[in-house]
Structure 1
Amino acid sequence: MDRQQTTTLLKNYIDFLLDNSDAQNPMWNIEKINSGKVNKWNYIDGCMITAILALYNQTSNKKYLDFADTFMDYFVKEDGSIRTYEVEEYNIDHINPAKNLIRLYELTGKEKYRKAMETVRRQLDTMPRTKEGNFWHKQIYPYQVWLDGLYMGQPFYMEYETKYNGKKGCLDSYRQFVNVRKRMRDEKTGLYYHGYDESRKMYWADHETGCSKNFWLRAQGWFVVALVDTLEAIDEQLYYEYRMLRAQFQEAIDAILTYQDTSGMLYQVINEQEAEGNYLETSGTALIAYAILKGVRLGFLPKRYEIHGEKAFFGTTQTYLKVSEEGRPVLGGICLVAGLGGKEHRDGSLAYYFSEPVVENEAKGVAPLLLAFTEIMRRNNG
């Protein structure tokens, strides 16, 4: 499949997803579908709406804005309360969709989106923290920081503080990245461990470092996108912090690219390419493609990195984007979910990461690929 065919198929894929989804029944949210429960405010849909708004930003096609507005309108009430969302759950994942409230408020002027931003922002005021100041991943995971959580919380936090709160929390957001580098980065590989337990009590945590055992690809992806999106939001008047986040971003990308496969993709456990059961994984590769391409566009990375982002994007589409026998677009190779602890006793081992289901057409793979696609479109459109 050449690049023009890839572009055409992706555009058809986007139409297929939107034509078969709404806020109550998003076909890309397989976790919701499998549960059989009513759809709730969640980060998975948040990622897709972010991608759809990026498509609108790039194409000015109103169908994308209308879909995103209608989807979010279902959850957001006129008084700014949000259907199915409770601050007191203290789940950092629930911050992520609020980025779309900022976009939609700017695009539509609907006051209820502005009020809903405040609803979500209040969660951060009382969110439990580690002793060093990082938000817990969830209240049910005390004293734990996961790389995923940096993506879920920090871009919204930095943008909200910059635009609406006089930059009061910007240094707090910055310091949380600093703490993660200090506690979760492996000096030998430059990669970041998936999770960190400040209490050192969890069975998956090293007794000395508090870190989990392995380097999960999607966690690396979430983290570098957290960095590039937060960098986009930070005010350059915070000169030192801006420069330090830029350096941390490039450092993390350099470590990841050490493990890029000749296909352009990366493996589920990034540095264990030869391990039995390991595989080239879509969602993490797409996140990294997006982070690199966006980083180059915004000047956070030198232009020479662009080829690596392109290789990751087109390697993914070449490997996993297909047309089914029924003539429908299909994106495969997506790890459905991976975490640490919980009732499933997720221990962070290689065997664990290789055991999680691999699925098709799921937002954690689809949304990053579409975001990377918008970066490809930007370049092609000059």
Structure 2
Amino acid sequence: MDMLRKYIEELIDKSTPARPIWNIEKILQGKEPTWNYIDGCMIKALLEMYAITKGEKYLAFADDFISYHVREDGQINHYDIHELNIDNVNAGKVLFELYELTGKEKYRKAIDTVYEQVKIQPRTKEGNFWHKKIYPNQVWLDGLYMGQPFYMEYETKFNNKKNYKDIFNQFANVEKIMKDSKTGLYYHGYDSSREASWCDKVTGLSKNFWLRALGWYVMALLDTLEKMDSTYTEGYTQLSNNFKDIMEAIIKFQDESGMWYQVVDQGNREGNYLETSGSAIMAYGILKGVRMGFLPENYRAYGEKAFKGICDKYLYEKDGELCLGGICLVAGLGRPDSRDGTFEYYISEPVVENEAKGVAPLLLAYTEILRL
């Protein structure tokens, strides 16, 4: 446990807002970080650490980091709402918390800046947000996590819950269309136009169950539930039932190590591997789900086993410093054409160390263990 806290503090000490050490994607591209979901995940995890430990270092870093991106008028550097990329909404979640903690008016204004994108995000014929303008008519599980918790918190705090029904409908569509009736798992993507090269021309669905996408969906449900008014009983019941169902399905695929495979239901296939980021999300989802009362107490053991399994397998010392390995750098559908949703594609993406998509969920799972 102390090892993990030491590891996180090492990462903070090596990072600046202009060059966060955990944003391997940007570092490999040689680009300065823009407003992005990866840093949003990490800052969210640091704010959770602050909430539990009251360690000022976590809050100070989070505040400096987001303040670097947000101007006094609430505009955000390197963020164009007209890019219509739902990923960019995710980092907006931390603005609510930082506004409450610091009282900085620019954070309140920036919340409205991000909400402007929500208002104009294009939709599929079923009513779901497109994943990105460059991926027309496509819904990815990832996008529910990127957009819905922010949308729900805004509606709850600043818009009299006017669009609750829209949020419930978007989740209902995903359950109806993307859930596999045999396994209870969800396919990574759906193209309502049936035009994408990766989709089944009859169903519009992609071919496989990618672990981290399932994880994003789990977190989308939990974090949206956490931010809504639970007296809206029908919607609350709908989302909590979706959450229970997906967790019941995912537990069946947990490896004896405690982790899950990159392509969830094909653990015995050559090339498949136990993946850190999705396993950490599941650990967090289970532990938080138990704490919030959505899962029975006996599920806690699955979450703790997952957390321990990741630390045992992938948290190690290298050249005198701690490292977290086994993290799939990125996976998507569509451009470039190699992203075809096949098993071979998912196992071909680079596996890296110390990347926020693995570090942040493990830290979130750790905060759930600290709460105990």
Q: TM-score band (shorter)?
A: over 0.9
Matched, 1:117 2:111: yes
Residues in 2 aligned to 1:175 and 1:28: alpha-carbon distance in whole angstroms:
35
Residues in 2 aligned to 1:22 and 1:147: alpha-carbon distance in whole angstroms:
30
Matched, 1:223 2:223: no
Matched, 1:183 2:177: yes
Residues in 2 aligned to 1:43 and 1:236: alpha-carbon distance in whole angstroms:
27
165-174 or 267-276, which deviates more: 165-174
Residue 107 of structure 2 aligns to a residue whose secondary structure is helix
2:89 corresponds in structure 1 to 95
Structure 2: runs of 5 or more not aligned: none
1:252 corresponds in structure 2 to 246
Residue 96 of structure 1 aligns to a residue whose secondary structure is helix
Residues in 1 aligned to 2:363 and 2:198: alpha-carbon distance in whole angstroms:
33
2:131 corresponds in structure 1 to 137
Residue 190 of structure 2 aligns to a residue whose secondary structure is strand
Alignment of 1:1-382 (within 5 A): 7-324=1-318, 326-379=319-372
Shift of 1:22: 1.2
167-176 or 262-271, which deviates more: 167-176
AA in 2 matched with 1:278 = N
- TM-score, normalised to structure 1, is 0.97
AA in 1 matched with 2:370 = M
Residues in 1 aligned to 2:294 and 2:148: alpha-carbon distance in whole angstroms:
18
- TM-score, normalised to structure 2, is 0.99
Shift of 1:344: 4.3
AA in 2 matched with 1:25 = R
Shift of 1:246: 0.6
Residues in 1 aligned to 2:236 and 2:259: alpha-carbon distance in whole angstroms:
29
Q: Is the Cα contact below 8 Å between 2:338 and 2:345 reproduced in 1?
A: no
Shift of 1:236: 1.1
34-43 or 74-83, which deviates more: 34-43
Shift of 1:80: 0.3
Q: Which runs of 4+ in 1 moved over 4 A?
A: none
Residue 97 of structure 1 aligns to a residue whose secondary structure is helix
Residues in 2 aligned to 1:171 and 1:21: alpha-carbon distance in whole angstroms:
40
Residue 314 of structure 1 aligns to a residue whose secondary structure is helix
Q: Number of residue pairs matched?
A: 372
Instruction: Write the deviation string for residues 188-243 of structure 1: whole angstroms up to 9, x where unpaired.
Output: 00000000000111111011111000000000101001100011111112101101
Shift of 1:304: 1.3
Residue 33 of structure 2 aligns to a residue whose secondary structure is coil
Shift of 1:42: 0.3
AA in 2 matched with 1:198 = S
Residue 133 of structure 2 aligns to a residue whose secondary structure is coil
Residues in 1 aligned to 2:357 and 2:262: alpha-carbon distance in whole angstroms:
14
Residues in 2 aligned to 1:252 and 1:378: alpha-carbon distance in whole angstroms:
24
Q: Is the Cα contact below 8 Å between 2:17 and 2:65 reproduced in 1?
A: yes
Seq. identity, %: 61
Residues in 2 aligned to 1:67 and 1:21: alpha-carbon distance in whole angstroms:
9
